[in-house]
Structure 1
Amino acid sequence: MHGQDFADDPQGVYDALRAFGPAAPVELAPGVDATLVTDYQAARTVLQNTTDFSRDPRRWKALNEGRIALDNPVLPMMAYRPNCLFTDGAVHLRLRKAVTDSLDQLNIGRIRRDVEPIAAFLIDQFSERGRADLLNDYAKLLPLLLFNRLFGCPAGIGDRLTSSMSAIFDGKDALKANEELTACLMELIALKRREPADDVTSWLIQHPAGLNDEELKDQLVMLMGAGVEPERNLIGSALLLLLSSGSSARGAGMLTEEALDHVLWNNPPIANYATHYPVHDVDLGGVPVEANTPLVISFGAANNDPSLREARQSLSKGAHLAWGAGPHACPAKSPATVIALTAIEAILNALPDLTLDVPADHLQWRPGPFHRALAALPVRFTPTPGTRVAALHAPAQTTRTAAAEPPRARTAPVPRQETRPAKKGFWSTFLDVFRV
């Protein structure tokens, strides 16, 4: 599942795996064996059964026996962290309540208000060119910048956080990037303990659960990991669907909400994950699964289970498994949907004649066992001035008058010193434009 063949045709691989039954043996990465659940009902059973299946990877037999190298590329996604993803029982309930209570303070109106200026800023960066890569110029950067805002990151920490998270997802020196990410988050936590504000980091710190710094850091890692990579894939795949459904995004006849729902059913952004470890040997619909071995849920395969073809016509839109199910279901379903919806509508409104720059079947998909992710989404459009940020500022600027400015004494000009400014990251550049 780690090769380009799988990335090019995952549904073909899932169809072949169905010959084994509701689950099948797979290789997630070189030397990492697992069992992949491809059947919809079997997936729901595992997701909802907390008695026979654990989420704690400290049970992982092969890892405990030293048969998995510590630099294996799937370990950052599978190794234990003290957060909601990898805990069970009372520990999980305590950590999850801190997360859900903090996320509940993010009302939908605030999320839209936070997404819109970021979208305007990013579109301004490429709108005059007439061409862009909507994946790397837009869908990838928007969630990173948004999470910096929601977490209350100052410029210095935010730039480093953005680059380290991007490097982890792109597999560029992931170990070093993970160290930098940890350092950034610990700095952020220390700052918010001293100077709490109206942001998710401060709310987590103030929660009655009393999370320590290590727990806080790993909840933030989980929130970023669960929000940034899936969000960019959801935005990218929905834009692809809209742009390939007709001559232009506006003429396609498909609503944005319909496109998002279609992606979640047929091309879920996180296609295979939610790893469970049977606490004893189990029989999963005739497929034996050994205790303490990885049992991975394939949302991509389960949602496309052939047995659902007729039932899908009557199933509710939310019956898919893209958000998971059971006690570990995604706690950020509503915010994630609003973010994607707002981001997509913002760019379609800004560039109404947006079209694909290459045929849809020529696009490349990034290899990897867990995600369903485009490598790029090249588009073309009529060049337009990059004035969207200025337009957002306009109402505030109209309240200023020359009379409000105090008189200034005339002074001799100061010789200009020629210095080359340090190159800024996207987050600090954004903050320079939108001072709040």
Structure 2
Amino acid sequence: MDDRSTAPVPPPGCPAHGSGARVPLHGPEFAADPQSYYDYLRHYGPTAPVEIAPGVEATLVTDYATALHLLQDSTSFRKDSRRWRDLNEGRIPADSPVTPLLAYRNNCMFTDGADHLRLRQAVTDSLAKVDSRFLTRTTEQIADYLIAQFGSRGSADLLSDYAKQLPLFVFSKLFGCPADVGDRVLFGITGMFDGINAEKATGVLFQAVGELVALKRARPGDDITSWLMQHEARLTDDEMVHQLALLLGAGAEPLRNLLGNTLHRLLTQDRYAHGGGLIEEAVDDTLWENPPIANYAPHYPVADMEFAGEKVRAGDLMLVSFAAANTGPALQAARQVGSNRAHLAWSAGPHACPSKEMARHITVIAAEHLLNKVPDVELAVPEDILTWRPGPFNRALTTLPARFTPVQAPLNAESGNRGSAPVPVQAAEQPRKAERMGLWSQFLNWMAK
């Protein structure tokens, strides 16, 4: 009898049939039901052969213990993507959609050893200076502003109108972005992650961050940018630009997804209906079961070796499936009696997320504030017609339509005036138009009224 006859059948739409076939982690089928794919991938063992974009192969770690091993072994595995053999040997399509999030940049995510320690310490020390009361107040003010734009309508897309914008606004405040710089930072990050005019959006972001660095060199303030610049690590301007672009971009996108996925859980599962501490529970359950970054943490073996019973070659692209590791049968059983925060949603080891407490705090405050302002909010469409953004890395809905009893615009926190309703900027618009409309400028004007 052929032992392979007992292997699970690939999910609908998955072309992974036969020995050696790679399972695609891209396309609408994977986005619609990733857990079916993870269940199938587990039959390979702790690691599985996958394709994360057309022509881009990787080894995906799906087992929790194996993932921890990889994430904590900085001797055998490195983060510097200049080691990526397939890229160096010309096998990655030049226009691959995954390259921008895997290509080397001079920041603490893609460095190893002493360089990583120096950059990472500067980042963690600077983030640690953010006062939690200031963070709460800032998040509430921005939530008020965003609710002012849709509250009187009685309906909203809680992704584009709230979850997508709130992290960008909070970070613009924390990093001390003036109006003109903040407008372009918002435009650049939105375009990069939405994949609309991404090359131009990336250029806008880096130019704006470069101007922010120059501004803070001349006039430092009480903000993360200035603290990072003043750190004893003595970051160069180039290092400053790359750390800031990482923190603004890689911070905003997962936070957007975490807030959106948490709101989705709160609106679709009755067990969270009565607020209070259940919002924090909903955030933790989302991190376990529907983490905002599902598959990432790229690593590269330094030499040919055997890992988890399989042979891997130096420079192979290896990724960790946080979503699969978190939902494995053994870990789910342990979760019932152990810590509710032992998940891998924030990664682990020396490259674990440096801002996890900040991100969790912002998510809880933003969700609580929304439910306090529009307590009868509910999903405006049947849950089964909601769609998820395709791609191997992020786990995020495309829209989250909601309805509620219309509310009067929240009072401006500074003056008691009620805000006007500017039109949101779409990432597809030209940078000049984004600057004219100025989302960040509009918020600052609203605060000043």
Same fold by TM-score, threshold 0.5 exceeded? yes
Partner residue, 1:425: 438
Corresponding position of 2:130: 106
Shift of 1:316: 0.6
Q: Following the alignment from structure 1 to structure 2, what is the Cα–Cα distance between the partners of residues 281 and 180?
A: 40
The alpha-carbon deviation at position 351 of structure 1 amounts to 0.2
Cα shift at 1:70: 3.2
Aligned to 1:187: 211
Report the residue type matching 1:256 in the other structure.
Answer: I
- Provide the residue aligned with 1:266 in structure 2: 289
Which residue of the partner structure matches residue 434 of structure 1?
Answer: 447
**Structure 2 CA distance, aligned partners of 1:317 and 1:288?**
34
**Contact 1:245 1:252 survives alignment (8 Å):** no
Aligned partner of 2:192 in structure 1 is 168
Structure with the greater alpha carbon radius of gyration: 1
Q: Deviation string for 1:366-424 (max 9, x for gaps)?
A: 001101001110000001111xx535235799xxxxxxxxxxxxxxxxxxxxxxxx942
Deviation at 1:69, TM superposition (A): 2.9
CA-to-aligned-CA distance 1:112-166 (integer Å, 9 cap, x gap):
0111110000000000101100001000000011111111111111111101100
Q: Does residue 1:92 correspond to 2:116, yes or no?
A: yes
Q: Contact between 1:242 and 1:254, CA under 8 Å: does it hold in 2?
A: no
Q: Does 1:201 align with 2:225?
A: yes
Whether contact under 8 Å (2:412, 2:447) holds in the other structure is no
CA contact (8 A) 2:139 2:170 kept: yes
Q: Over residues 1-51 of structure 1, what are the superposed CA-to-partner deviations in whole Å (9 max), with x where a residue is unaligned?
A: 121111101111111111111011111111111000001110000000011
Q: What is the one-letter code of the residue matched to 2:260? A: G
The one-letter code matched in structure 1 to 2:117 is L
SS at match of 1:182: helix
1:60-83 Cα offsets, whole Å, 9 max, x none, are: 011111222333211111000111
Residue equivalent to 2:168? 144
Could you say what the CA RMSD is over the residues aligned between the two structures, in angstroms? 1.8
State the shift of 1:243 in Å.
Answer: 1.0
Q: Contact conserved, 2:290 with 2:395, CA < 8 A, in 1?
A: yes
Matched residues in 2 for 1:253 and 1:184: separation?
Answer: 40
The aligned residue for residue 75 of structure 1 is 99
Matched, 1:382 2:405: yes
For structure 2, the residue ranges without an aligned partner over 5 or more in a row are 1-24, 419-434
What is the alpha-carbon distance in structure 2 between the residues aligned to residue 59 and residue 136 of structure 1?
37
User: How far apart in 2 are the matches of 1:277 and 1:229?
Assistant: 24
Q: Read off the aligned partner of 1:426 and give its amino acid letter.
A: L
Structure 1 residue 253: Cα displacement: 8.3
Aligned residues: 409
- In the TM superposition, residue 179 of structure 1 has moved relative to its aligned partner by 1.0
SS of the equivalent of 1:283 reads: strand
Offset at 1:246? 2.6
Q: How does 1:275-354 map to 2 (within 5 A)?
A: 275-354=298-377
| Alpha carbons 1:152, 1:200 under 8 Å: kept | yes
Shift of 1:318: 1.7
Give the drift of 1:311.
1.2
Q: Distance in 2 between matches of 1:97 and 1:391?
A: 37
Q: C-alpha displacement at 1:296, in angstroms?
A: 0.2
TM-score by length of 1: 0.91
1:21–1:287 CA contact under 8 A, matched in 2: no
Match of 1:10 in 2: 34
SS in structure 1 of the partner of residue 153 of structure 2: coil
Q: Distance in 2 between matches of 1:350 and 1:283?
A: 55
CA distance in structure 2 between the partners assigned to 1:43 and 1:104 by the alignment: 27
Equivalent residue in structure 1 for 2:182, among 135, 158, 163: 158
2:76 counterpart residue number:
52
Over 3 Å counting, the alpha-carbon distance change for 1:250 and 1:285 in structure 2 is closer
Alignment pair present for 1:223 and 2:236? no
> Contact 1:102–1:204 at 8 Å: present in 2 too?
yes
Q: Distance in 1 between matches of 2:215 and 2:156?
A: 37
1:127 aligned counterpart, secondary structure: helix
Q: Which residue in 1 is equivalent to 2:393?
A: 370
